[in-house]
Chain A
Amino acid sequence: MQESPKYWKGIEELESSPEFVKGAFSEFADFLPVKESHGSSDAAVAPRRDFLKLMGFGIAAATLASCETPVRKAIPYLNKPEEVDPGIANFYASTYFTGTDYNSVLVKTREGRPIKLEGNPESPITRGGLSARAQASVLSLYDKGRLQHFAIKGKKAATDQVDQEIRTKLAGVTGRIAIVSPTIISPSTKKVIAEFASRYPNTEHVMYDANSQSALLRANGGVLPSYDFSKAAVIVSLGADFLGTWLSPVEYARQYITNRKVSADKKTMSRHFQFETALSLTGSNADVRVPVKPSEMGATALALYNGVVGSGAASSAQLKKAADELKAAGSRGLVVSGSNDVAVQTLVAAINQAIGSAAVDVASPSMLRQGDDARMLRLVNDMNAGTVGAVIFYHANPAYDHPLADKVKTGVAKVALSISLNDRLDETTSLCTYACPDHNYLESWNDYEPKRGFLSLSQPTISPLFATRQAQDSLLTWAGNPQSYYNYLRASWRGLLGGNFQAGWDKAVHDGVAVGSLSPAPVAQAAPAMSTDQAIAAINSAPKGSGIELALYEKVGVGVGSCEANNPWLQELPDPVSKATWGNYVAVPRKMAVAKEWEQGDVLKVTANGKSIELPVLIQPGQANDTVSIAIGYGREMAGKVGDKTGANAYPLAVVRDNAVIFANTVTLEKTGAQSPIAQTQTHHTIMDRKPVVQESTLAKYIENPKEVTEYDKIATPEGLEKPNKVSLWQDYEYKNHHWGMVIDLNSCIGCGSCVVGCQVENNVAVVGKQEVINRREMHWLRIDRYYSSDASKEDFAEKGKLATYAAMEDPSENPSVIFQPMLCQHCNHAPCETVCPVLATTHSSEGLNQMTYNRCVGTRYCANNCPYKVRRFNWFSYYSNEKFEDVNGHMFTDLGRMVLNPDVTVRARGVMEKCSFCVQRIQLGKLEAKKQKRRPKDGEVVTACAQSCPTQAIVFGDMRDPESQISKIMRREDGERGFHVLDAINVQPNITYLTKIRNTETEVRNA
Chain B
Amino acid sequence: MNSIRLRPLSHFFLALFLTFAAVGNSTAQQADAAPVATAPAASKDGVTPGSTAAAAPAAAAGATTGDAAAISAGNALFAQNCAQCHAINDVVVGPALKDIHKRRPISWLIPWIKNSSKLVASGDEYAVKIFNQYQKQQMPSFQLSDAEITSIISYVAAESDKPAQATAGGATGDNAGKVDGQDAGATAGAGTGSSTIDILLIVLVVVLLVLVVTLVIIANIMKDVLRGRKDLDGRDVEQLESRFDLGKIYRSPVVRGLALGLFVLVVLYESVQGVMAIGLAQGYQPTQPIAFSHKLHAGENQINCSYCHTSVYKSKSANIPSANICMNCHSQIKTESPEIKKIYRAIERKQPIQWVRIHNLPDLAYFNHSQHTQVGGIECQTCHGPIQNMEVVYQYSPLTMGWCINCHRETPLNTKGNGYYNNLVKLHDKANGAAPFTVSSNGGTECSKCHY
Contact = CB atoms under 8 A, between A and B. Distances in A.
A91 to B, nearest CB: 15
B352 A66 contact: no
Given A74-B320, A845-B446, 19 more contacts: A71-B356, A71-B357, A74-B354, A77-B352, A78-B350, A85-B311, A86-B311, A86-B319, A87-B315, A87-B319, A88-B316, A854-B451, A904-B452, A906-B451, A917-B448, A924-B449, A931-B375, A934-B417, A934-B420
A155 interface: no
26 contacts: A65-B278, A66-B277, A71-B286, A73-B354, A74-B357, A75-B355, A76-B353, A78-B322, A78-B351, A79-B322, A79-B323, A80-B319, A87-B311, A737-B424, A845-B443, A845-B447, A845-B448, A845-B449, A849-B448, A853-B448, A856-B447, A906-B452, A924-B368, A927-B420, A928-B370, A934-B417
A863 to B, nearest CB: 14
Q: How large is the interface on B (under 10, 10 to 19, 20 to 34, 35 or more residues)?
A: 35 or more
Given A86-B315, A736-B427, A928 B371 contact: yes
Contacts of B419: 934-936
A69 interface: yes
A920 interface: yes
Interface string B330-367: 00000000000000001100111111110010011010
B325 interface: yes
B317 A86 contact: yes
A77 B319 CA distance: 10
A159 interface: no
Given A78-B346, A920-B448, A934-B420, A85 B322 contact: no
B314 interface: yes
Contacts of A73: 354-357
A919 to B, nearest CB: 9
Contacts of A27: none
B310 interface: yes
A906 B370 contact: no
B279 interface: yes
Contacts of A26: none
A72 interface: yes
A249 to B, nearest CB: 32
A596 interface: no
A855 interface: yes
Contacts of A74: 320, 354-357
A86 B443 CA distance: 27
B420 A936 contact: yes
B442 interface: yes
B291 to A, nearest CB: 16
Contact of A78 (B324, B363, B420): B324
A970 interface: no
B282 to A, nearest CB: 12
Contacts of B347: 78-79
A62 interface: yes
B377 to A, nearest CB: 11
A930 B420 contact: yes
A86 B418 CA distance: 26
A843 interface: yes
B314 A851 contact: no
B366 A851 contact: no
Interface string B185-227: 0000000000000000000000000000000000000000000
Interface in A49-77: 62, 65-66, 69, 71-77
* Candidate in B284, B420, B446 with the most chain A CB atoms within 10 angstroms: B420
A727 interface: no
Contacts of A936: 419-420
B170 interface: no
Nearest to B368: A928
Contacts of B356: 71-74
Contacts of A852: 448
B274 to A, nearest CB: 8
B327 to A, nearest CB: 9
A932 interface: yes
A72 B286 CA distance: 11
Contacts of B452: 904-906, 917, 920-921, 924
Nearest to B375: A931
Nearest to B446: A845
A668 interface: no
Given A69-B279, A76-B352, A80-B325, A932 B374 contact: yes
Contacts of A846: 442-443, 446
A78 B322 CA distance: 5
B354 A75 contact: yes
B311 A88 contact: yes
Q: Which 4 A-B pairs have the closest CB atoms?
A: A87-B316, A846-B443, A851-B448, A87-B315
Given A73-B354, A74-B355, A932-B370, A855 B364 contact: yes
Nearest to B428: A736
B54 to A, nearest CB: 12
Interface in A898-954: 904-906, 917, 920-921, 924, 927-928, 930-932, 934-937
B412 to A, nearest CB: 15
B278 A66 contact: yes
Contacts of B320: 74, 76
A72 B360 contact: yes
A851 B346 CA distance: 45
Nearest to A961: B423
Interface in B431-452: 442-443, 446-449, 451-452
A65 B280 CA distance: 11
